Amino acid sequence: MVKRRTLSREQVLDQANDIIASEGLSHLTIRALAGRLDVRPQSVYNYVDSLNDLLDQVGVTFVNEIADRLMRRLVGVAGKEALWVFAQEFRAGCKQQQHLAPLLLNPNDLQQLTATHQALVDLYQQMFKSLHLDEAGNTALVESTLYRSALFGFIVQEIGGFLRLPARKVDQRFDQTMQLAIDQFTTIE
């Protein structure tokens, strides 16, 4: 009798994540993933429509993990302190899974990863809505754009190796950068 393998969506995504972490994003293929899972490539297609769909599902899972982290830390936190916590946790999530951060930080990838992009937009909108910044008009839009730009820009520089400083100095620079961005918010306390 032939032994049946059981495969789940979680196993597919976990192995895809492992391939990205160990070999890099460019080495993730359906064939490589099937080899890691010890199944035929056709079996992987029971869980994903394409390589792009696989990357999108990995990206959405990553955004959801960051969102879960954030929600735990943001309980009872409001105003500028919430912006600070959001920045710290988003950075920590990207640093913890540097191999996946490019899925969130590369605008070219995000155009193709529509579900990941939407999950990231939803996360930001949820954050800014909870601070009532979505109702505050043009000033809040400029402030929130500056905040996102500072956060994303810093993480891109950090993960990309552009900040050739000791870790303590990088942390200090992050704190200073985000404090400047948060101080620009005039619509919240």
CA dist 107 and 147 (Å) reads: 17
- In this structure, the answer to whether residues 31 and 101 fall within a common structural domain is no
Q: How many domains does the chain have?
A: 2
Residues 88-145: pLDDT tens digits? 999 999 999 999 988 888 777 667 889 998 999 899 888 888 777 655 556 667 888 8
pTM: 0.85
Rounded to the nearest 5 degrees, what angle is found at the Cα of 64, between the Cα atoms of 61 and 68? 140
The residue range of the domain holding 43 is 1-48
> 169-176: which pairs have CB atoms within 8 A and are 24 or more residues apart?
174/87, 174/91
Q: Are 83 and 25 within one domain?
A: no
Same domain, 19 and 109: no
Check pLDDT > 90 for residue 1. no
Exposure letters 35-66 (e unless 16+ CB within 10 A, then b): ebbebeeebbeebbeeeeebbbbbbbbbbeeb
Residue 158 in any domain: the answer is yes
| Residues 57 and 91 grouped into a single domain | yes
CATH code assigned at 4? 1.10.10.60
pLDDT digit string (tens) for 30-58?
999 999 999 999 999 999 999 999 999 99
Q: 71 vs 11, 32, 77, 172, 185, CA distance in Å? A: 25, 35, 10, 25, 22
User: Is 188 within the bounds of a domain?
Assistant: no
